[in-house]
Structure 1
C-alpha cells in the first residue's frame, strides 16, 4: 500500500486562538514578532527592570536589570575571547541562576547557545559538544566558586543584529531517541513563535507571574516553553535545585504556576502529600514524543488526580511536543481529558497524517508551523529522512478526530 500524506485543517479552539496568518510558503506565521529573541527580552528588561527575573532557592535572586547587566558582562567577556556572531557556545551547567546568566550571555554575544544537559555522561556530552563544533564552553567547574571563575567577564555588550530566520539555539534530542542525540536548529522565529503560542494558550499574566520551573533548562520544554515565556510576560522564574525544599518553596515564594514532567511530578508526590496549595493557578505537565510509547498512562492519570488534590484551584495543562517543534505542538486541558487524548494543535501548529490509513484518520503524526525547526544541524541525511517539505515526521502513530483532536494510537 502506498504512503499518503493527508493534511488536517487548522483548528480554532477557545483557549488557543492565536493570531496567525498563512505566509506565501503556506505555513501559518505570526505577523508581528520582534526581529530576534534578544530584542523581545530587552524590551521586557526595560519594562520590568525592578522585578525579580530569576530566583534560585539557596542562591542568587536577580532582578531583570541585574540579570541583563550580568549577562551582558558575560557577553562582553565572550567577545574578548573572540566569540561573536554565529559561533557556538556550549552551556553545560547545573540548573540555577548562573545557568540563566550563561545562556543569556551567549545569546547577547551574538553566538548560538548549545544546550548540554549537565547530567549527561561525559562521553555523551563530549559527543554533543564535538558535533556542535562548539567554539567555547561555559561549564562552571564543580563548585559555586568555580562557576564564578568560569563565566567570562568584560565590558557590557549586546549584539542586536539578528533576524527572524537566523539560527538562535542548538538544542539536542534526547539520547534515548531512535536517532539521537541530534542537533536541532531553532531559529529566532521558532523561539518567538513558541513563546507567543505558550503565552497565548496558557494565558500567562503580566502582573507578576511566579513560575516554579522543575523542567530541565537544557531541554526545549524547560528553556523555550517555560523560562522564556515567563520572561516574555515579566514574570519570575523560580529554580529549586534541591527537590527537598520544593514544598517549602511553593509556599514561601508565593508560586502561581508549577511546570514539570509527569515523572518529576510523580517523584514529588510523597513530599507534597497532604498539602493544599490554593494559590497555585496553573500546573503545566510537559510530555515529549520520545517518551510517548513508553508512557504508563494509568500512572499519569493517577498523578493528575493527586495534583488536583494538592492544587485544587489550579488549571492543569498537558503540553506535548518535540525538540524539533520547539517543545510544543499539542495541548490539552486535563480537567476532562480521556486517557488516550494528546490534545489539540495550538499556535500556528498544523497537523498531517502519513501512512496507508491516513485518509481514515490513522497514521504517523506530522507537524509544521512557525515553531518547527528547518533542519538538523550539519546532518542533511537525517533532515531528508525526517522532513517531507516543511512537515516534520514525529515518529508517533496517532488518530485525529474530525475536529482536530489527537489521540494516541492503541499500538502505543
Structure 2
C-alpha cells in the first residue's frame, strides 16, 4: 500500500535536531572553538536559525539542494544545520576543488544555491557562474566585488522558529565520492541513516561524553568529519576544537593547549602527529584515546602512538555509502590491532565471493572475499546513477569493493581494495601487507604501495616512501630490509622517495595518482628509483586534507 502524507505524519525526524536539542540541554556549554573564538550551543543554534531565515528569504525550502563550500570553521556548522533545518539537502563541496569540478557538483546535484566562504570564492564563484547557480558568501567583509553576504541577510531576516520535520527516508545530504573510477557520484544520505548512525556511535561504539573536548581536524565536507566529529560531537554535548588547516605541529599544539580528550584522524594524520611530537614530547594531560578510519592504520603507527601519547587508537571501517561507520574496535573493549573490529549495532557485515557479481554468495569464516554490508546505515543510492546503484547494492547488501576476512569472533580484517590488489607473475600481492612491513623501518614516515604495468610479469610492485627529515636511507637499503620480511614475489622492485604523498579529501593516499606519475615518468624515461642504491631526491606532490 502506498503511504500518504497523513500516514507519515508522526514518522518525523531531522538531523538539525542534533543541534537544537543539545542547545536546549546545554545552552551555555561551549560547542565550537575556532582560533580564539568560542561559540556556545545556544549561540550556535540562534545563529543557525538566523541563517535559515535568510536562506528561506532566498526561496530555499524542503527538498532543495544547497551546496556548501566552507572549511572547518563555525560557519560550516551554521550553514549545514540551517539548510537541514529548512528541510533542504546539504551538498558539501571539497574545499580544494577547481571551478570545473565545482560546476559538476552543482549541476549534478541540482543545487539551487552555493554558500561559499570568502577565501574560496575564486574557484567557488567561477564554478557557480558556469553552473548558473547563485552564490551567497560567509566570512566576507563588505566591499566591492563581494557577493551577497549571508551574515548581513541573516541580521535582518526573521529567524526560523524551529526545524522542519522530515520523513526518515527523506534525503538529508548528497556527498560526492572521490571518483576513483571516473566522475564522482553523489551518495544520497537519509535523515534516518545519519541520525541512527550518531545514536549508535554514542551508545555503544565510541565513548564521547558531554564536556569532552574533541579534535576537529577531519574535513567537515567529508562523511568522517561530518558524522563522527560534528554530528556525534554536538549530539553528545562535547566541545569541538576546529582545525581549519591540519598540520602535525598544529595537532600537537591543540592536544596540549585545549586538553583534547578524543582525537579523530586518518592514518596520514597520525603519522604527521607522531613526526611533530618528536620535537614536542610532552605527554598530553587528558587524551583518552584516538579514533582512526579512512584507510588501513599501520601497526607501527598504532604502537608508536601508544608509546608517545600513552593512549590507544581504536580503528574502524566505513564508507560514504555506509554513513560512514560499519565496524569498529568498540571503545570499552581492548582493541585488536590489525583488525577493523566488529560490526556496529544493527549492522551486518559478511564476506562474499568477489567474482560473483549478480548475487551475494557468502563465504565461511576465515575465507578471503569481499566485504558486504547491510543495515540501517546504508545510503539511498547514487544520484542520477541507477545502474551504479543496482551494481553496488545486491539483494540488500552493499558491495564495498574491499577484500578481507572475518574470524569466528566476528572480527574483520581488510587486506586491500579489489582494484588495488597487484597480480605479479600470477601471484596475488596485497599492498597493505607490504606497507605494514615498510612502516616498521625507523626512517620511514609513511608509505604507499601500488602496482604498475610490466611487460612480462603483468604488474610490478612499487612503493612511494616519505622518509624522516635528513634521512640518508637508500632504495637498496630499504629493499634489503623488505627482502628479509617478505616473500620474493612481494617485496617492491621500484622505490620512489617523496616529500609528501597525494591525499584525497578524507586523507586517503591517492594511489591512482602515484601510478599515473610513474606512467608519466616512465614515458619520459625518468623512471622511479630502482634498485641501484640511489639516495632519495624527493619529488613534490601536493598534500592536502
The yes-or-no answer on 1:227 pairing with 2:233 is no
Classify 1:307/1:104 alpha carbon distance in 2 versus 1 (closer, same or farther; 3 Å). Answer: same
TM-score of the two chains, using structure 1 as the length reference: 0.83
Aligned partner of 1:128 among 105, 118, 122: 105
Cα deviation, 1:183-221, whole Å, max 9, x if unaligned, reads 111111110111012112344343301101221111111
**1:12 corresponds to:** none
**Which runs of 5 or more structure 2 residues have no equivalent in the other structure?**
1-10, 121-138, 417-428, 431-545
Counterpart of 1:106 in 2: which secondary structure? Answer: helix
The number of residues matched between the two structures is 367
Classify 1:180/1:329 alpha carbon distance in 2 versus 1 (closer, same or farther; 3 Å). Answer: farther
Distance across 2 between alignment mates of 1:247 and 1:352: 38
Asked if structure 2 preserves the Cα contact closer than 8 Å seen for 1:39 and 1:160, the reply is no
**1:387 corresponds to:** 393
Aligned partner of 1:269 among 262, 271, 274: 274
Aligned partner of 1:374 among 372, 380, 384: 380
Aligned partner of 2:163 among 159, 172, 184: 159
The yes-or-no answer on 1:250 pairing with 2:249 is no
**2:287 corresponds to:** 280
The yes-or-no answer on 1:50 pairing with 2:28 is yes
How far off is 1:348 after superposition?
1.4
Counterpart of 1:392 in 2: which secondary structure? Answer: strand
1:311-390 equivalences in 2 (<5 Å): 311-312=309-310, 314-332=311-329, 337-339=336-338, 341-355=339-353, 358-360=362-364, 361-390=367-396
Counterpart of 1:91 in 2: which secondary structure? Answer: strand
**Which runs of 5 or more structure 1 residues have no equivalent in the other structure?**
1-32
How far off is 1:222 after superposition?
0.5
**2:89 corresponds to:** 112
Cα deviation, 1:145-174, whole Å, max 9, x if unaligned, reads 359924551221133221212111111112
Superposition misfits of 4+ residues, deviation over 4 angstroms:
333-336
Distance across 2 between alignment mates of 1:268 and 1:126: 35
How far off is 1:252 after superposition?
2.1
Cα deviation, 1:69-126, whole Å, max 9, x if unaligned, reads 1111111111000110000010111211111111112112221110111122332222
**2:136 corresponds to:** none
The yes-or-no answer on 1:68 pairing with 2:42 is no
Cα deviation, 1:340-371, whole Å, max 9, x if unaligned, reads x2221112110233226843433211101101
Q: Which is greater in Rg?
A: 2
Asked if structure 1 preserves the Cα contact closer than 8 Å seen for 2:328 and 2:342, the reply is yes
Q: What is the root-mean-square deviation in Å for CA atoms of aligned residues?
A: 2.3
TM-score of the two chains, using structure 2 as the length reference: 0.63
The yes-or-no answer on 1:199 pairing with 2:197 is no
Distance across 2 between alignment mates of 1:401 and 1:159: 44
